A and B are shown apart, each in its own frame.
Chain A
């Protein structure tokens, strides 16, 4: 007879077979048998967060920076409800997470037992799938299935709820071999004919543009390489969503910068005026399209996406190609090279006028700002941070708000998986724990969380995690004492009624850093900024960097309400002529 293992042992057996190296979690009554088993498995290290939301975001940061699924372990009741924000965040941004939660013993389910909640009910809308394991014989199968669902097709979070009695019960375990086969829901559904059609459209286009998103990153590092080749052999301009940054070099001449609500003038105008839009792994999010009726009216649209339900969800497209980005692009490149080796040459003339027009938009220099020698402008702070860290293979995470948009605009990424930001859900407090997860995956790399003082206070407790595991993360706070994006909207849309957007009684971040046992640095003037940033980089400990910036700086360009997508607010000088009028205030 083969050996019997307890449910808790089976959990670890599965994780070993799945080559899990790190678990982010927090113990509690209903997962104690699993925590008890931890000591017997040296290949798996547990990272103790300070809050389950922090554990979830850390696992997200880990997953996004190294491409492997993040694993979270939490207890029942509050443990599970605390992780819901992180699961939803991962669901919106397509991040593979496997969350294991404890549950009260099966005979107590439904009795309102201590720390009981309907975990699978609560997490059903924010996971790809979830399971309540009621029989220990199903446990191994379920966990392996969970890893498969999380990582195949469009990635996303899953949850396995394991009652405490199941963790004690015994069952057989047969070793698991990873199958190469993808599940039926993720198969490529495109044909050679679609590719030929696309090439034909590309050959005819006079004003083409690539619009790329997080799908390129999720498709793996090879997809980014192929994207670079595709862009260079076609000579087309390329713009990227917030999540796609890094899949194409930010300082390349063919790159128009980020598009969308705070995207560049050239990117948004090119999207509006193009005659061929090739969407690669993006999802026509409302922050990108603006008013759907007036979105890119003249273009033929091609949409390459692994998720069939993304096609025609927000914007009707002319040619859908359902498949993995990497596989589509590689076939596309192969076909172009084989049948149209002179594509670039013949194409150059076709689109030369288009590049001229783009050049005109570019000359507006929409990311420009009026610098100051007295106060630190937040954009200037990010530019300096970029200049001082660009040669170091730096990993950047962010919180949510103005600082996030400035980071996306002014920090130029040239590799995938270096940029971790909460785009879909927009979770304030994401960046600090995400940085913890990134540093776990890349212990020797520089990891910076570009933060706002309001966001970072939401998950500040995770500094304690960073100190415990000697993770030298740098929390670079652009401190303007306001919830900056809220304040900006109130200024532009609500007659400067700054209702509750100012944080009085902020902590002294330098002292706070010291209290946590890490290093606090404060920069007050532009002169001292470089030296202080260098100091931050050189310290081999976690740092909280309190960068006191201009309190009233706004994030431009911005697509204002009541204006078509191709008319943007550019900056302080442009603003006078573009007052947002009464009816446009319902900007969401």
Chain B
């Protein structure tokens, strides 16, 4: 691509991209998710995964967990822009590699095949403590909680054992120890 010489349209230097987990506490009211997601799309930020649910029914607070990538400057902007939204109570953010934080994603996996295939499949997922939610002569539905990349790998491994359908959630996060998010 020809580098533009324009004083006004040069995008400038690209910084290094980091993956962050942003946790947002919001009033659980109509349109609040649209506000948060609209902020991301409107300003060109990236959403890798998203998990939302009410966590405090009494006060009507929902917790949104967003996995996003961006330069440090963009991550800072995301936090500050989120903080400006009226229904947002607080915003926490940390790097994906942070040792003090637990991340988990859940996946439901449906496998179709004979008994031996299914047993082999169960063996493959054993270290993720699979829970069998449904079982028939021909099929099994497993529940797995693990990291995103672990589930990615698992899906690859399970292909040959009759994996026919996958349903995944976004990541949720929690601090280790007695600390809570500030």
Contact = CB atoms under 8 A, between A and B. Distances in A.
A494 interface: no
Nearest to A308: B80
A559 interface: yes
Contact of B42 (A125, A309, A585): A125
A125 B2 CA distance: 34
Contacts, number: 83
Given A124-B35, A124-B38, A312-B76, A290 B8 contact: yes
A496 interface: no
A555 to B, nearest CB: 15
Interface in A291-318: 291-293, 307-309, 311-313, 316
Between B2, B7, B84, B86, the greatest number of chain A beta carbons within 10 A of the residue's beta carbon is seen for B7
Contacts of A307: 84
Interface string A117-130: 00011001100110
Interface string A494-509: 0000000000000000
B8 A291 contact: yes
A120 B73 CA distance: 30
A10 B73 CA distance: 45
Given A564-B7, A565-B7, A291 B84 contact: no
Interface in B29-46: 30-31, 34-35, 38, 42
Nearest to A314: B73
Contact of A132 (B7, B30, B35): B30
A25 interface: no
A573 interface: no
Contacts of A290: 7-8
Given A124-B31, A307-B84, A309-B77, A292 B5 contact: no
The size class of the interface chain B forms with chain A is: 20 to 34
B80 A309 contact: yes
A125 B6 contact: no
Contact of A185 (B3, B31, B34, B83): B83
Contact of A309 (B7, B13, B30, B83): B83
A561 B76 contact: no
Interface string A570-588: 0000000000010111111
Given A185-B83, A307-B84, A562 B76 contact: no
B116 interface: no
A291 B4 CA distance: 11
Interface of A: 120-121, 124-125, 128-129, 132, 149, 185, 261, 286, 290-293, 307-309, 311-313, 316, 559-565, 581, 583-588
Interface of B: 2-10, 12-13, 30-31, 34-35, 38, 42, 73, 76-77, 80-81, 83-86
